């Protein structure tokens, strides 16, 4: 990407191809990355590790756009892509420096499809796991697309510009950072099942409040709470799935989690965009918030075992 931009040869078709390749790489990278946490820290400290990782992510989410804006203004987009690519050298160096016990290979199914079926059979066969996956999928489709609609809300509902939209994005990141730090500090004391249930239901109610807001200060305050609930949902979901899953199935279950969380995101963004074009962004947010609240409440009421998880 950096080479194409710097040589002024970039086209829309090339961007689509590169984005597709990035998505294909992430299909392998994200499940492996998530499964790797428990190998490094063990199940007892897993939530702390996930929360600290989320903290680092959200610090960059708050600071990154500001730094990128300065660099783009001074050096251009191509140099930013180049620096981003070079930054992965630090990641690779850290990965090669990690020393883990030898991996004990277990007996695998005879084929790739059998391998996949075994993972799906486990997800659908355990009511707790399937409920947790369904919950994050519903939030990804109907709740998390509020991020896509924020520019529309800033411009058309609040009557603000790019600067205020930047504040709104930073508010989400700040709330997520606070939530991640709270989880890292109190992970062992928090009942994860009840935390997930309340965070999921609360997310829908908070999102509904954001849909009703016509004030920038109120919207910023609500977005901080939205970011908080969002990170509590994703980190707790990740932790519960990894602690419930046998070691030999963890990679496959995390692949299903990635599909439900990341893979359903574009579908959610598409439906939110189409619906917002018909009824407006606030109504779209209200509908999504209502679906999230009703679905998660009904789901966890039906599968009460999730709420009892320690």
Contact between 229 and 192 under an 8 Å Cβ cutoff? The reply is no
- Scanning the chain, the segments in alpha helix (DSSP H) are 2-6, 12-41, 46-75, 77-97, 112-125, 127-138, 146-152, 162-186, 192-212, 216-244, 250-258, 265-279, 281-302
Contact between 42 and 247 under an 8 Å Cβ cutoff? The reply is no
The pLDDT confidence band at residue 12, using thresholds 50, 70 and 90, is confident
Q: In the predicted model, what is the mean pLDDT of the chain?
A: 85
User: What is the CATH number that goes with domain 42-63+117-302?
Assistant: 1.20.1250.20
The reported pLDDT for the residue numbered 184 is 80
Contact between 144 and 289 under an 8 Å Cβ cutoff? The reply is no
pLDDT in tens, 15-49: 888 888 888 887 777 777 777 777 777 777 777 77
Q: 99: helix, coil or strand? A: coil
| Mean pLDDT within 293-303 | 90
Q: How far is the C-alpha of 103 from the C-alpha of 205, rounded, in Å?
A: 45
The reported pLDDT for the residue numbered 268 is 93
- Scanning 98-126, the segments in alpha helix (DSSP H) are 112-125
Residue linked to tokens 């062992």: 188
Q: What DSSP state is assigned to residue 106?
A: P
């Amino acid at each position: 990407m950096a080479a194409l931009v710097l040589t002024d040869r970039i086209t829309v078709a090339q961007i689509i191809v590169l984005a597709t390749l990035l998505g294909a790489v992430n299909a392998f990278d994200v499940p492996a990355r998530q499964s790797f946490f428990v190998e490094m820290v063990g199940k007892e400290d897993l939530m702390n590790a996930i929360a600290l990782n989320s903290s680092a992510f959200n610090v960059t989410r708050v600071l990154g756009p500001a730094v990128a804006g300065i660099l783009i203004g001074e050096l251009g987009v191509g140099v930013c892509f180049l620096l981003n690519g070079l930054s992965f050298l630090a990641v690779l160096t850290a990965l090669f420096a990690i020393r883990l016990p030898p991996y004990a290979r277990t007996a695998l199914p005879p084929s790739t499809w059998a391998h996949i079926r075994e993972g799906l059979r486990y997800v659908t066969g355990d009511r707790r796991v399937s409920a947790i996956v369904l919950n994050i999928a519903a939030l990804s489709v109907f709740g998390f697309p509020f991020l896509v609609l924020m520019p529309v809300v800033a411009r058309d509902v609040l009557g603000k510009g790019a600067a205020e939209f930047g504040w709104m994005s930073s508010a989400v990141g700040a709330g997520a950072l606070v939530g991640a730090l709270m989880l890292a500090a109190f992970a062992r004391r928090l009942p994860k099942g009840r935390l997930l249930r309340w965070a999921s239901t609360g997310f829908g109610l908070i999102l509904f409040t954001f849909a009703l807001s016509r004030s920038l200060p109120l919207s910023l305050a609500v977005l901080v709470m939205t970011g908080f609930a969002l990170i509590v949902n994703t980190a707790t979901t990740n932790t519960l799935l990894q602690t419930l899953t046998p070691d030999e199935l963890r990679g496959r279950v995390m692949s299903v989690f990635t599909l439900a969380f990341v893979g359903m995101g574009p579908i959610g963004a598409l439906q939110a965009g189409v619906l917002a074009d018909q009824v407006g962004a606030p109504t779209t947010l209200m509908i999504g918030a209502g679906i999230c609240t009703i679905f998660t409440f009904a789901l966890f009421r039906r599968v009460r075992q999730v709420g009892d998880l320690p």
